[in-house]
Chains A and B, each alone.
Chain A
Amino acid sequence: MKLFASLLLCLCLPAAWAAGTSTPELDIGKGGQCVEDVQWMRKNHMNLLRHQRDETVHKGVRDTRRSLKGCIECHASTRDHSVTARADSFCVGCHSYQAVKVDCFECHSDKRKSAWLEKNAK
């Protein structure tokens, strides 16, 4: 019985320890929920983006609700208008925590359209 208790303790300790570790603190910009709840989005956002990208490029469906541009519009930082500029930026914060490379921004702008317009007004 004693052995079983200690075994249980050994097994539980790392789990409890892991649960206590800090998840990344993100700068979520304006935030708010417009598509699905947070946990669902963490798991599935890439599928929505991939589907929407084909719809937009090939069929010209420019609905912003599930587009990368739409995400950036709300979730870019209110300070620098970017989702990648700092370590706690909306996309980069989580992706570096999970060690998943994010390729989107090699082609796509990481800035809000309004911020880009302001910068390129001249």
Chain B
Amino acid sequence: MSDIDLRRRNFFKTSLGAAAVAIAPGILLFDLAHGKPQSVGGKVRWGMLIDTTQCREGCNDCVTACNKENGLSGGTSATDSQWIRKVEIKEISTGRKVSLPMMCQHCDKPPCVDVCPTGASFKRVDGIVLVDRHLCIGCRYCMMACPYKARSFVHEPVTGQNPDVPRGKGTVESCTLCVHRVDNGQQPACAESCPNKAILFGDLNDPESEISKKIRSVASVQVRADLGLNTGVRYQGL
């Protein structure tokens, strides 16, 4: 093969490579900027495993991260929205103390959905329990029905919301498992913020996922398992 042929071939190779490098990020960024056009699949079930042995007493990082991400005030009075709370429990006979975050448990059979008169409270096919605020009339039946006290009612007008997390007066709200982040392939804010990595987020239906492997190998419980709600959030070391 002549020298010119080889040079020509190399020239084409490099220009093809350069074109691919130039175009590929454009396509990727375009996809990112426009969000996902397809709906979420029912094969996934999102869940969390919370390792209470790694959860430090007095640490509030998950709560702070949740408040910041979702635009909550951070107040803890009866009329403030709280999507996640830190709970300290103590076994009286032994004196053993455990600290854990408590939020919507994203039940498989959610009582809040059963009682909702308008269909505003619903479970997405991937297991995330949400409130459709367009349909919510603020009756608060779901708050009564929830055994985990996970839901809050918005009493005052809200301003300066995160564009991804609309919130408003007269509707009920709770942990969304950071659905806007999950849909973009990110972790919920609380899981990401935990300094001890005590919150493991993942797909419970995928046997190869980190969370599935861990719940197979270590003992974990559902809070109020006696109610048979099959919660998506599980606790280890409780």
Contacts and interface: CB of A to CB of B under 8 A. Distances in A.
Interface string B97-119: 00000000000000000000000
B206 interface: no
A48 to B, nearest CB: 15
A25 interface: no
B37 interface: yes
Given A64-B35, A120-B68, A106 B179 contact: no
B184 A62 contact: yes
Interface stretch (B9-17, B53-61, B162-170, B225-233): B162-170
B163 A62 contact: no
A30 interface: no
A111 B163 contact: yes
A109 B40 contact: no
A72 interface: yes
B7 interface: no
Contact of B160 (A59, A60, A109): A109
A61 B36 contact: yes
A113 B35 CA distance: 14
A107 B168 contact: yes
Interface of B, secondary structure class, is loop
Given A106-B169, A107-B167, A120-B68, A61 B37 contact: yes
For chain A, which range describes its interface: under 10, 10 to 19, 20 to 34, or 35 or more residues? 20 to 34
For chain B, which range describes its interface: under 10, 10 to 19, 20 to 34, or 35 or more residues? 20 to 34
Interface string B8-40: 000000000000000000000000011111111
B179 A60 contact: yes
B157 interface: yes
Given A57-B132, A57-B134, A107 B36 contact: no
A107 B38 contact: no
A109 B36 contact: no
B141 interface: no
Given A57-B130, A60-B39, A60-B179, A107 B34 contact: no
Contacts of B38: 61
Contact of A63 (B36, B130, B163): B36
A60 B183 contact: yes
B158 interface: yes
B122 A58 contact: yes
A59 B132 CA distance: 12
The 7 closest A-B pairs by CB, nearest first: A107-B168, A59-B39, A62-B35, A60-B40, A63-B37, A107-B166, A109-B163
Interface of B: 33-40, 68, 122, 124-126, 130, 132-134, 157-158, 160-164, 166-169, 171, 179-180, 183-184
